[in-house]
Amino acid sequence: MKAHIGVDAESGLVHTVVGTAANVNDVTQAGALLHGQKSVAFGDAGYRGVHKREEARGAKWHVAMQPGKRRQLDLTRKWARLLEKAEQLKASIQAKVEHPFHVIKNLFRHKKTRYKGLAKNEAQLFSLFGLANLAIAKRSLLVTHARGAS
């Protein structure tokens, strides 16, 4: 079981959850993760080749470089240092996407799938990511409320 999520960049809240079998390639779900009129999308190395897919067109995709190719960069050259900086920026955005996974794994203790069948596991993921949205929104609301009180 693999979960693919779409996250809003400003709020960090999950807007799309797609559950697939573990052997399904990430890039096949790219079109399902685009939400509304999003013009920019980020993905890890599993989304290589997304620009060739018809259902993922309409958004500018920023896909991370494969780790092996990134390690091979010669950082003594200026272009390689710029490319490494771009990869670090992509990784910082990817960390925001991974935060809801951190919440459901650590706050709600969801470490492995429990049910037989894709539909049951996907239903559990829907509820867990909904609860994660509440936990993330609560945290930002508490910060806003604490700043306003004096």
**pLDDT tens figures, 36-67:** 777 788 888 888 888 888 888 778 888 999 98
Averaged over 5-23, what is the pLDDT?
Answer: 87
pLDDT of residue 130: 94
Q: Is the pLDDT of residue 146 over 80?
A: no
Cα gap 62→51, rounded to integer Å: 10
Q: Where are the domains of the chain?
A: 2-123
pLDDT of residue 148: 64
Condensed to tens digits (0 to 9), the pLDDT of residues 82-141 reads 999 999 999 888 888 889 999 999 988 887 777 788 899 899 999 999 999 999 999 878
Give CA torsion, residues 17, 93, 104, 10, to 10 deg.
Answer: -70
pTM confidence score: 0.77
How far CA 78 is from CA of 81, 82, 83, 88, 103, in Å, comes to 5, 6, 9, 15, 38
pLDDT of residue 8: 84
Averaged over 14-22, what is the pLDDT?
Answer: 90
Residue type, 48: R
